[in-house]
Amino acid sequence: MREIDELIESEISRPSVFIDESVLYPEYVPSNIRHRDQQFKQLARVFKPMLIKPGSVSAKVLLIGAVGTGKTVTAMAFGRAVTTAANKKGLSLHYAHINCSRSNNAASIFRDLKNQLGLPIPDRGLSVHEMISAILEVMEREDLYALVTLDEFDYFINASSPEDRYLVLRFYDVFKMSAKRLSFMYVVRGSPTHILSKLDSFTGSYLMKNVVTFDPYKASELYDILSDRVELAFYPGVVGEEVIDYIAHLTGYDTGGDGNARKALAILHAAGKLADKDMIEGRANRVTLDHVRAVVAQEYPALIDVLDTIHYLPLHELLVLKAIAIALTVSETDYVTTGEVEEIYRKLCLELGESPRGHTKVYMYIIDLRQRGIIMTKSSVKGKRGRSTYIGFGAVPLNVLIQRLDNVIRNKKLLR
């Protein structure tokens, strides 16, 4: 026990460039959202009736743009601000944020909603229509209102049935209530044309009534965003302006990048981790341009795109992904079989005290990971006999992926 205590103490007390690296995580919502004032004004105009004349209308808005353009963080910050404003007026308004890559059908969306609102409605024994009716009855009885963000809504559009899409998008056409207690923000990646191509004209035109567009960030805007986070995440003086400027120009839309703020922050975070390692070994005392260059050379941007997705995966799908990474590392081959993955997955479950899912469920996780573009699969591999599902991974360093997965899995376990 003493050795464990000493190990923990040495880890806690070791030198670091970070004060609080969590402010660099994708899920962090800063108190000041840079360069999105116009979007906040548009949202305020759309949802003004919700505060001025509660229940008169169910306001809906589409937030659309590429990955890392501030859609999610803007939605969450607006939800936080508008609920505060409503509560000051004596209106019991709540904010719910539902990720549709996890809740990808109408039943799971409204189950998640009633859980976030803390409504005393059972999870089982009710059809989706019965559950929604129960939600509306409780909200009516307790005079509650809710602003609901459906994040990664494009995933729902691709995965759901036409009936579920109609139910969610034309909610009050199905549930005809005098008081409209639910309003919605739909967050999607891509372009309006792309989203419209996935929907029938009737439902699509309904969704496009209020659209808030998020353009990719310019280098100067990313410089401001990075500077804010550096002040919170790092000790003073360990990240110079040259590092911030380099990352901003590397990722800025007007300087040849894709304008992805998440990518810029993840490169900064990864560079900080490299500086931490060098600090322990006595080779550095600050984050340098060489650390940033090393991050880019190691193809961290590919990992960053994966991290945008894995944060929202359920625990057991994360364990399957970790099992794939471990199997590929151990075998030192480009592809491994489903059987190899399942064997390691069961061991991981045992270590965490989790009951492993069955073969069919594991296979469904593998298919989902493939559809998300995280892994690759083949039905046959040269040099191996028989047909099976062979699983491979992209260019991301597997040891780095496993380390990041460990952090996400640990956080998932703590939140359960």
Query: Rounded mean pLDDT of 171-199?
Result: 87
Considering the domain architecture, whether residues 174 and 301 belong to the same structural domain is answered as no
| Antiparallel, parallel or unpaired: β 375-378 and 211-214 | unpaired
What pLDDT score does 104 carry? 80
> Are 186 and 207 within 8 A, CB to CB?
yes
Considering the domain architecture, whether residues 191 and 72 belong to the same structural domain is answered as yes
Own/partner long-range contacts of 406-413 (Cβ < 8 Å, ≥24 apart): 406/322, 408/310, 408/311, 408/313, 408/318, 409/315, 409/318, 409/319, 409/322, 409/352, 412/314, 412/315, 412/318, 413/315, 413/352
In terms of pLDDT, which residue wins out, 406 or 272? Answer: 272
Among residues 158, 187, 214, which one ends one of the domains? 214
| Antiparallel, parallel or unpaired: β 336-337 and 375-378 | unpaired
What pLDDT score does 414 carry? 66
CATH number of the domain within which 356 lies: 1.10.10.10
Considering the domain architecture, whether residues 74 and 191 belong to the same structural domain is answered as yes
Q: What is the pLDDT of residues 43-81, one digit of tens each?
A: 999 999 999 999 999 999 999 999 899 999 999 999 999
CA-derived radius of gyration, the chain = 23
What pLDDT score does 9 carry? 56
Spatial distance between the Cα atoms of 362 and 354, rounded to a whole number of angstroms: 14
Q: Bridge partners of 390?
A: 337, 378
Spatial distance between the Cα atoms of 384 and 192, rounded to a whole number of angstroms: 45
What pLDDT score does 303 carry? 59
**Longest alpha-carbon distance in the chain:** 70
Q: How many domains does the chain have?
A: 3
Percent of the chain topping pLDDT 70? 89
CATH number of the domain within which 280 lies: 1.10.8.60
What pLDDT score does 164 carry? 93
Q: Which of 263, 241, 244 is nearest to 253 (CA)?
A: 263
Considering the domain architecture, whether residues 259 and 198 belong to the same structural domain is answered as no
What pLDDT score does 398 carry? 77
Considering the domain architecture, whether residues 60 and 118 belong to the same structural domain is answered as yes
- Mean residue pLDDT of the chain comes to 88
Is residue 108 in a domain? yes
Burial of 307 (0-12, 13-18, 19+ CB in 10 A): buried
**Structure-token pair, residue 281:** 């070994």
**Structure-token pair, residue 273:** 């981790």
Q: Quickly tell me which residue has 């075998």 as its tokens.
A: 331
Burial annotation 320-340 (CB, 10 A radius, 16+ → b, else e): bbbbbbbbbeeeeeebbbbeb
Among residues 279, 307, 335, which one ends one of the domains? 307
Considering the domain architecture, whether residues 50 and 192 belong to the same structural domain is answered as yes
CATH number of the domain within which 53 lies: 3.40.50.300
Spatial distance between the Cα atoms of 106 and 164, rounded to a whole number of angstroms: 5
Could you say which DSSP state residue 160 is in?
S
What pLDDT score does 305 carry? 63
Is residue 14 in a domain? no
Is residue 21 in a domain? no
Considering the domain architecture, whether residues 198 and 221 belong to the same structural domain is answered as no
In terms of pLDDT, which residue wins out, 352 or 335? Answer: 352
Burial annotation 131-158 (CB, 10 A radius, 16+ → b, else e): bbebbbebbeeeebbbbbbbbbbbbbbe
Considering the domain architecture, whether residues 153 and 237 belong to the same structural domain is answered as no
Is residue 182 in a domain? yes
Q: How confident is the model at residue 335 (pLDDT cuts 50, 70, 90)?
A: confident
Q: What is the pLDDT of residues 231-284, one digit of tens each?
A: 999 999 999 999 999 899 988 999 888 899 999 999 999 999 999 989 988 888
Is residue 3 in a domain? no
Is residue 17 in a domain? no
> Are 311 and 67 within 8 A, CB to CB?
no
Among residues 307, 340, 368, which one ends one of the domains? 307
> Residue 204: pLDDT above 80?
no
Is residue 24 in a domain? no
Q: What is the pLDDT of residues 205-232, one digit of tens each?
A: 777 889 999 999 999 999 999 999 999 9
Spatial distance between the Cα atoms of 277 and 297, rounded to a whole number of angstroms: 17
Query: Rounded mean pLDDT of 277-293?
Result: 89
Which range marks the domain in which residue 329 is found? 313-415
Q: What is the pLDDT of residues 375-405, one digit of tens each?
A: 888 777 666 665 678 888 755 567 777 887 8
Considering the domain architecture, whether residues 282 and 172 belong to the same structural domain is answered as no
Considering the domain architecture, whether residues 175 and 297 belong to the same structural domain is answered as no
Considering the domain architecture, whether residues 331 and 280 belong to the same structural domain is answered as no
Spatial distance between the Cα atoms of 353 and 133, rounded to a whole number of angstroms: 37
| Antiparallel, parallel or unpaired: β 211-214 and 145-151 | unpaired
DSSP H or E stretch at residue 168: helix 162-169
> Residue 331: pLDDT above 80?
yes
Q: What is the pLDDT of residues 91-131, one digit of tens each?
A: 999 999 999 988 889 999 999 999 999 999 998 889 999 99
Q: What is the pTM of this model?
A: 0.76
Considering the domain architecture, whether residues 408 and 336 belong to the same structural domain is answered as yes
